[in-house]
Amino acid sequence: MAGNSIYKALSDKLGVWESERFLKILEEMLTPEEARICLELFEPATCREVAGRLDMDEKELSKKLDVLLDKGMLTRGLTQYAFHTTLLAFHHECVADTAPHAGPYALSKKAKELWADFFYNEWSYHFMEHIEEMIKVTGRNLPIWPAIGALERSPGIKPEDILPEEDWKLRIENAKSRILAPCGCRISWGHECDLPLMTCFACFDRPRGEYYLNQPGRLLKEVSLEESMAIARQAEEAGLVHWGDCYCCDCCCENLFPITRAKRWELMTPNRFLAVVDEEKCIGCEECIDRCPFEAIEMKPGAAPKEQKSTIDPERCKGCGLCIITCKPNALTYKIVRPPEYLKPKPPEGGQSDKPVHVIPVWGHYFLK
């Protein structure tokens, strides 16, 4: 199989059809031989099995598999290896989360440029389709999580009012291992973004973080409780939205960027909290407008001449709390506007289930997992 055909076959197996941009990424990140090996591993297999299929020496293949493991191209069980089966998994394991590398397998400058071109001009539009489909099936997108600083600056919110799954501070305090990684999106394609980088919590308190922590060249870092809290607060103060395991910016995030670019605010699922304004305290500084990534805040005339007060659009506010944590006169606080049942996932259509429903994007095609 010719080199270009190998990359085309690998791209098709990942569900990325007719994308010249993605083919260039594969060509930059994998040799033709490595791509051929990966093609054999869409179903888990042992080194011996793959060696037999490809008519390769088993010891030589074992060395090549170790390189692919170090690149993040493969995962490994006790005896079997496997390649990633979706584009999203490929990106998160080879480029984002655990993948950022300081060793010989670090992303080249060319690879970063190719990922940026692919994301901004192609993949981000497919993410919009994915989000729309997910909402159609599940009734929601992944909810934004409330900011730690915003909860602390809201005297009306008692500790018992906060559910365990939305209490990020509690999760940090209770974690058995605290391992952070650089933001894959900002490393992959966010060349113009100067926001905090060490903000990925995808490996936090998880076995995969412990596994990758000691792998050569990986940029993961084990931090203390105090450092974890400081990083979370720095991310909030810098204006990053806490979404899932990520602290996201609207210029790089694979989810947040497409939505804010299109101003499709209805595709963002709010949490249970709403920012509210105490007009007596509001001094009209307008800093909250600059802080809001969802254009949910406007100024309106106050009681005195030329006086301006901020006002919150409850339909657009997602409860991220970024406006609250930097409000100097403490004019902004949270209030709870949705019951605990709101966070319970919607069961799949046609059946009942207590398990969350995940829609996995496969380049314009979707399936439930």
Per-residue model confidence (pLDDT) at position 178: 94
Indicate whether 363 belongs to any domain: no
Helices (H), the chain: 3-13, 20-29, 32-39, 47-54, 58-71, 87-94, 109-118, 124-138, 148-152, 168-174, 184-188, 207-213, 225-237, 256-262, 287-291, 322-325
pLDDT-derived band at 202 (thresholds 50, 70, 90) equals confident
Q: What is the largest CA-CA distance in the chain?
A: 84
Do 166 and 231 lie in a common domain? Answer: yes
What angle is formed at CA 28 by the lines to CA 196 and CA 187, rounded to 5 degrees? 0
Residue pLDDT, tens place only, 253-291 = 888 999 999 999 999 999 999 999 999 999 999 999 999
Do 316 and 206 lie in a common domain? Answer: yes
Per-residue model confidence (pLDDT) at position 213: 81
pLDDT of 354 over the 70 cut: no
pLDDT-derived band at 347 (thresholds 50, 70, 90) equals low
DSSP for residue 121 = I
What CATH number corresponds to the domain at position 197?
3.30.70.20
Per-residue model confidence (pLDDT) at position 97: 64
pLDDT of 205 over the 60 cut: yes
pLDDT of 222 over the 60 cut: yes
DSSP-based three-state secondary structure for 334: strand
Do 38 and 176 lie in a common domain? Answer: no
b/e per residue, 121-134, with b = 16+ CB within 10 A? eebbebbbebbeeb
Indicate whether 365 belongs to any domain: no
3-state helix, strand, coil in the chain (%, to 5): 40, 15, 45
**Domain with 184 in it:** 125-343
CB atoms under 10 Å from CB of 136, counted, come to: 11
Contact 241, 293 (CB under 8 A): yes
What CATH number corresponds to the domain at position 69?
1.10.10.10
Per-residue model confidence (pLDDT) at position 299: 94
User: Could you give the C-alpha distances from 216 to 49, 65, 99, 184, 324, in angstroms and in order?
Assistant: 27, 15, 11, 18, 41
Indicate whether 316 belongs to any domain: yes
How many Cα atoms occupy the beta-carbon half-sphere of 44 within 13 Å?
7
Per-residue model confidence (pLDDT) at position 360: 43
* Pairwise CA distance, residues 156 & 334, whole Å: 8
Do 157 and 269 lie in a common domain? Answer: yes
Do 80 and 180 lie in a common domain? Answer: no
Indicate whether 351 belongs to any domain: no
pLDDT of 4 over the 90 cut: no
Indicate whether 259 belongs to any domain: yes
Do 335 and 252 lie in a common domain? Answer: yes
* Pairwise CA distance, residues 14 & 4, whole Å: 16
Indicate whether 36 belongs to any domain: yes
For the chain, how many structural domains are there in total?
A: 2
Greater model confidence, 22 or 131: 22
Do 60 and 203 lie in a common domain? Answer: no
Do 147 and 247 lie in a common domain? Answer: yes
pLDDT-derived band at 355 (thresholds 50, 70, 90) equals very low
- Mean pLDDT across the chain, nearest whole number? 87
Do 299 and 187 lie in a common domain? Answer: yes
User: Of 84, 100, 135, which residue constitutes the final position of a domain?
Assistant: 84
Do 70 and 138 lie in a common domain? Answer: no
Indicate whether 190 belongs to any domain: yes
Do 306 and 236 lie in a common domain? Answer: yes
pLDDT-derived band at 1 (thresholds 50, 70, 90) equals very low
pLDDT of 15 over the 50 cut: yes
Average pLDDT over residues 326-338: 97
Long-range contacts, 46-51 (Cβ 8 Å, 24+): 46/79, 46/80, 46/81, 47/81, 50/81
Indicate whether 101 belongs to any domain: no
Do 147 and 225 lie in a common domain? Answer: yes
Supply the pTM of this predicted model.
Answer: 0.86
DSSP-based three-state secondary structure for 229: helix
